[in-house]
Structure 1
Amino acid sequence: MTVQLPSQIVVDRFLPTARSMLASALSERGFAQRDIADRLGVSQAAVSGYLAGERGEEERFAEHPRMQATVERIADGFESGRMDDYEALAELLELVREFEDRGPICAVHEEEMPALEGMGCDLCVRGRDRAVQAERDVLSNVRRAVRTFANAPAVAAHVPNVGTNVAMALPEATDETDVAAVPGRIHAMRGGINVPSNPEFGASQHVATTLLAAAAADPSIRGAVNLATSDDLLAAAPEDAVAFDADYEDRRDRLEARFADGVPRVVYHEGAFGIEPITYVLGETAVEAVETATDLIARANREA
């Protein structure tokens, strides 16, 4: 018997299977072999081999519904542009963790090391750090929301001079360090949208303050985006949109009091001396908040 780490199973059996399945899925979506090779980090000859079926797949992985769903989700994400390489890697790593926890990787590992048989693979199960997973999920959601916002039509005119931010809070968030947003904010530039960097925790102050006040009143509200307040935007806003005083002092406390009877999806102020008028759109996630905001912008543009 040889000592074999589960990582060897991942490299020797899981990774070739994932690459083969992704190569086929991307080819079906019209990707050229050169583009598939770039995506998978392999040579074009390797892609040709995958598509010709010359590189065997591990059936226990290839036939697993979770593996098939993950491959399809990544391929659809690459095709639509809604998933980047970072998110694809996150999807595959999550699948590896699941397969290592009494899953197919565990089964293959037991075959390679019979001494593990009947042990339930407890030697390899590390237990998920749910706090870390929650942070990853929030950052991933904000990234998707930012891409949606940046690619939406005609949003640049509704970005405030101080910039827009897209934010999402962790469950049971208490302060700004529990809220992920874009450092430096998102700005309109030459009619388009400039996103300076990837989201980080603690990168927002004003959007985070509004979001934390909303979450304190309704924990299901964890996403927010800010826009420039305008007559057109307010005309398109839902009837339950709530106005509040623009002053920064005690803003969170004042907002929590306003939200005591429920949290609307749109809250706004009309500015003050040195304070630009801002509208905040809320949602259960950053993606939902941005989708609501872009719908609001579309209505405002139609009615303008």
Structure 2
Amino acid sequence: MSLVLPDELVVDRFLPTVRAMLAERLAECGLTQQEIADHLGVTQAAVSAYVGGDGGGDDRFRDDPETVASVDRIADGLASGEMDGYDALAELVSLVHSLEDRGPICELHEEAMPALRGLGCDLCVRGLDADVRAERDVLSAVRVAARTLATLPGMAAIVPNVGTNVGMALPGADNVTDVAAIPGRIYTMGGRIEIPANPEFGASKHVATAVLAASGVDPAIRGAINVATDDAVLEAARERGFDVLEFNADYEDRGAHLRRRFDEHGTVPPVAYHRGAFGIEPTTYVFGETAVDASTRVGELLETAAGLD
């Protein structure tokens, strides 16, 4: 991973654009090029280029409503004398912080460092605290698990009609928004596994319900994958010595029913399944301590099932 600091993008992309925008607005306010140069801390020649349209810049900032509004406030304040250099600096610093919070600067940073995509990077806003690291680790695990599923021989055959998903909960999760999954679910197209997007928290109520039920009984179990119920896979689970639990699909509160069944069973099994009900497709959940563990377990089941044919 190449290291690019957000500050580099502020200096190289944001600052030149905002200086050009300010020069243009201050010229519209009637200031001379030298007066503009004094305000911006640049040469008169640079202001001439800005005003003449040769200053360039990044259209993401030029088109950003918050940036435009800030430039207008600063230009009006400097032109009227109601704002001095310190006030203008404070306004720009506040703008930079805002644009780093999922704004254009954050977008540019992900382009410069593609490995940040899908990790929920929040470094500029919150710093690297324990919560951020936990979120990043969960998102990363779900990404790895999804990619693992996409490479498994036989996986396409057990993707339900509604799609499959892989989810993982944060430690101590108690809400769907604490579980990361793939938005839009994982589906098949032409016999290939398609992953439509990077994982997000709160992206799947379906798999999150199973994850929360499992982690509520055993906090160590935080990963789950849903697949179509398949007798060969269930036989493979028993062949490998996995504990297999059947539950009833026809419950309005699936999470409460699952948790009750786990409590009655005395543990969270590696595999839990139902045979479907009216309007409900037969589904099997494969659990693991992490999303990666669950995907590895699915791979083991498919490998064993293929050997039983």
Q: Given the two structures, how large is their TM-score scaled by the length of structure 1?
A: 0.59
Deviation at 1:131, TM superposition (A): 1.2
Task: Quote the residue 1:140 is aligned against.
Answer: 140
Q: For residues 146-200 of structure 1, give each alpha carbon's deviation from its aligned partner in whole angstroms, at most 9, with x where no partner exists.
A: 1111112221011111100011000100111000000110011111101111111
| Secondary structure, counterpart of 1:162 in structure 2 | coil
User: Which residue does the alignment assign to 2:282?
Assistant: 277
How far is the alpha carbon of 1:89 from its aligned partner? 11
Instruction: Flag the 1:204–1:129 CA change in 2: closer, same or farther, 3 A.
Output: same
Cα distance, 1:88 vs. partner? Answer: 10
Q: Secondary structure at the match of 1:289?
A: helix
Task: State the alpha-carbon separation in 1 of the partners of residues 163 and 127 from structure 2.
Answer: 40
Give CA deviations for 1:6-39 in whole Å, capped at 9, x if unaligned: x79xxxxxxxxxxxxxxxxxxxxxxxxxxxxxxx
Map of 1:241 onto structure 2? 244
Which of 285, 294, 299 aligns to 2:299? It is 294
* Contact 1:224-1:282 at 8 Å conserved across structures: yes
Cα gap change, 1:191/1:176 in structure 2, threshold over 3 Å: closer, same or farther?
same
- Per the alignment, residue 33 of structure 2 pairs with none
Give yes or no for contact 2:223–2:294 (8 Å, CA) kept in 1: yes
Q: In 1, distance between residues paired with 2:280 and 2:295?
A: 23
**Equivalent pair of 1:241/1:264 in contact (CA under 8 Å):** yes
Q: 1:272 to 1:140 in 2, by over 3 A?
A: same
Identify which of 84, 108, 115 aligns with 1:86: 115
CA distance in 1, matches of 2:156, 2:269: 24
**Alpha-carbon shift at residue 127 of structure 1 (Å):** 6.7
Question: Aligned with 1:174: secondary structure?
Answer: coil
Deviating more after overlay: 229-238 vs 168-177: 229-238
Which stretch shows the higher mean deviation, 234-243 or 272-281? Answer: 234-243
Backbone CA RMSD of aligned residues: 2.7
Question: Which structure would you say has the larger Rg?
Answer: 2
Structure 1 gaps of 5+ residues are: 9-83, 98-125
Equivalence for 1:204: 204
Q: Which runs of 5+ in 2 are unaligned?
A: 9-112
Partner of 1:20: none
**Identical residues among aligned pairs (%):** 57
Matches within 5 A, 1:78-227: 85-86=114-115, 128-227=128-227
On the 8 A contact 1:158/1:297 being kept in 2, the answer is no
Matched residue of 1:279: which SS? strand
Contact preservation (8 Å) 1:87, 1:140:
no
Aligned to 1:121: none
Q: Write out per-residue CA displacement over residues 26-83 of structure 1, whole angstroms, 9 at most, x where no aligned residue.
A: xxxxxxxxxxxxxxxxxxxxxxxxxxxxxxxxxxxxxxxxxxxxxxxxxxxxxxxxxx
| Alpha-carbon separation, structure 2, partners of 1:154 and 1:241 | 21
* Offset at residue 301 of structure 1 (A): 2.1
Task: Judge conservation of contact 1:271–1:278 (CA < 8 Å) in 2.
Answer: yes
Number of equivalenced pairs: 194
